[in-house]
Amino acid sequence: MLARQQIFYHQLVQLVDAALFAFAIYAAHALRYYVLTDRFWFDNAPLDPQFANSYWMMVVALVCGPFVLEYFGIYRFNQPRSPLEILGRVLQSQLVILFIIFGCVVLLTIRQDTVSRAALGFYFFIGTILIFSRVVFFQGWLKRRGAQIHLRQYILLCGTPKDREHWKEQFLSQPGKKFEIKAEFDLREEGLAGFIEMLHEKAVDIVVFSLNERIIPQVQEALLACEAEGVEAWVSANFIQTLFTRVQFDQFAGHPLLIYRTTPSISWELLIKRLLDLAGSLVLLIVTLPIMLLVALMIRIDSRGPVLFSQNRSGLRGRAFRMYKFRTMVTNAEQGRAELADRNEMSGPVFKVRNDPRVTRIGRILRKTSLDELPQLWNVLRGEMSLVGPRPLPLYETANFGDLTQRRRMSVRPGLTCLWQVRGRNQITSFKDWVILDLEYIDRWSLWLDFKILLRTVPVVLFGWGAK
């Protein structure tokens, strides 16, 4: 299945599932408060407060439902699953959504006696049936659609024998029988006239060209022939080899472009990430304001100097920004760094020292509890940082990067917490290992990963795990 088709189907079934989740919530409450109580929708009796709770639950299910199904692999169309496996994944999803709803009850301080457990039980049953039926129906529809002869697409493979064999394996591995290899052709050996004759003889729907630097002129002529006859053409540029880059097609000023990205492209997930950064940083700034005022007072009492420490750090793409922290060291700490160079415990360009003598008494407490990082919420609010992302390093450290791959950690916005923070923090003494964790985050990025890192950060901060 083409990526654009997968995206279309993905978004379509997500919308359908969101609607099914919301309908299941409403139907469950209607069943509980109308059908089982002999009331009707058109009664003038006041709305039961327990039924009114169904509205905010519908919103929760609308927003969270597709995310949870995504997490449990329901939308992996190229991996057909048995009905029993589908049922298991849907049941797991339903349990998570119920857990989220009960979490909202606690966080929003909603009276638990106004939440109907019977209605939620009905929802679990109705929602499971609806989502399970949708998944089974859609999976069966994809299979039946591929098996229908009049919908089958006939393929002509053009390229070297090795390239043609590779593409043959790819098409044959697709679920269903949507594609059929009708013929194979070698442009270099048989020429354009033979190619056009093959198009007419086999009546193919799609021509797949395996492009390489030796047959670009022949492919260009063959593409013009496909255009003239209205035959769809796919061009594979496999001679440009990359390890993990995601390739996308786009246009700029009317010019077709192949775009190679190693970071997530513009999407609704990135939009939600930024909205969460804005909301989270604003709420945390307000909630922690009394704590920050107390910390500021303690710093002023403990040692002379400013309350805040600011430093130019490398942000997105290495662009400098001013990062803020509570001061944890003496005021002349930067001048004393050279004297401690022989005590550096981190290999590579990063400087870290255990029991650093420049750290003040209050500074040790702040570092242990990560309270010194709270002013960076202002950087998150300004868009210079994110809640989750690789930690920003000073400019003089990034200037000493000795490996190009180390700079790729700056291809996303830096963050307050990251995989390094929750998987060892200062216990990691090799900058190479630190970079591996950052690149793992970039390559695996999703909203779920951000959410898990934020959850794991809480005990790390509370108990000071890995802090020096």
Contact 204, 182 (CB under 8 A): yes
| pLDDT tens-digit profile, the chain (468 residues) | 555 667 777 888 899 999 999 999 988 888 887 766 655 444 444 455 667 778 888 888 888 888 889 888 888 876 667 889 899 999 999 999 998 888 888 777 666 666 778 888 899 999 999 999 999 998 887 777 655 554 577 889 988 788 888 888 888 777 666 788 888 888 888 888 888 888 888 888 888 888 776 777 888 888 888 888 888 888 886 666 665 566 777 776 776 777 777 777 767 788 889 999 999 999 999 999 999 999 999 999 988 889 999 999 999 888 899 999 999 888 877 776 767 777 777 777 777 777 778 888 898 888 888 899 999 999 999 999 999 999 999 988 888 887 777 888 888 899 999 888 887 666 677 888 888 888 889 888 888 889 889 988 888 777 666 555
Residues with Cβ within 8 Å of 311's Cβ and at least 6 positions away in sequence, in order, are 322, 323, 325, 394
**Nearest alpha-carbon partner for 202 in 163, 155, 167:** 155
Task: Give me the helices (H) in 303-407, please.
Answer: 333-336, 361-369, 376-382, 395-398, 404-407
**Nearest alpha-carbon partner for 76 in 16, 142, 18:** 142
**Nearest alpha-carbon partner for 124 in 155, 146, 99, 145:** 99
Structure tokens at 344: 């550096």
User: What distance in Å separates the CA atoms of residue 259 and residue 57, rounded to the nearest whole number?
Assistant: 41
Residue with tokens 């654009």: 4
Residues with Cβ within 8 Å of 81's Cβ and at least 6 positions away in sequence, in order, are 89, 139
Q: State the pLDDT at residue 385.
A: 94
Q: State the pLDDT at residue 45.
A: 46
User: What distance in Å separates the CA atoms of residue 406 and residue 432, rounded to the nearest whole number?
Assistant: 8
**Nearest alpha-carbon partner for 262 in 465, 67, 449, 440:** 440
CATH 3.40.50.10700 range(s) for the chain read 149-241
Q: How many C-beta neighbours within 10 Å does residue 25 have?
A: 29
Q: State the pLDDT at residue 344.
A: 73
Structure tokens at 395: 């400019």
Q: What is the distance of C-alpha 402 from the center of its chain?
A: 29
User: In what helix (H) or strand (E) does residue 442 lie, and over which residues does it extend?
Assistant: helix 431-444
CATH node for 149-241: 3.40.50.10700
**CA distance to 158, 160, 202, 232, 305, per residue, from 182 (Å):** 12, 17, 7, 15, 78
Q: State the pLDDT at residue 133.
A: 93
User: What distance in Å separates the CA atoms of residue 424 and residue 466, rounded to the nearest whole number?
Assistant: 6
Residue 249, beta-bridge partner list: 258
Residue 180, beta-bridge partner list: 154
Q: How many residues does the chain have?
A: 468
Q: CA dihedral in degrees (31, 33, 39, 44; nearest 10)?
A: -130
Q: State the pLDDT at residue 284.
A: 93
User: What distance in Å separates the CA atoms of residue 440 and residue 296, rounded to the nearest whole number?
Assistant: 36
Return the beta strands (E) in 237-380 as ranges: 246-252, 255-261, 308-314, 320-326
Q: State the pLDDT at residue 464.
A: 62
Residues with Cβ within 8 Å of 235's Cβ and at least 6 positions away in sequence, in order, are 209, 211, 219, 223
Tell me the backbone φ, ψ of residue 359, rounded to 5 degrees: -75, 135
Region of 403 (left: φ > 0; alpha: ψ -120 to 50; beta: rest) is beta
Structure tokens at 425: 């923090």
Return the beta strands (E) in 219-299 as ranges: 232-236, 246-252, 255-261
Q: How many C-beta neighbours within 10 Å does residue 107 have?
A: 8
Residue 260, beta-bridge partner list: 247
User: What distance in Å separates the CA atoms of residue 197 and residue 266, rounded to the nearest whole number?
Assistant: 43
Tell me the backbone φ, ψ of residue 87, rounded to 5 degrees: -60, -45
Measure the N-to-C terminal CA separation of the chain; round to a whole number of Å. Answer: 51
SS3 361: helix
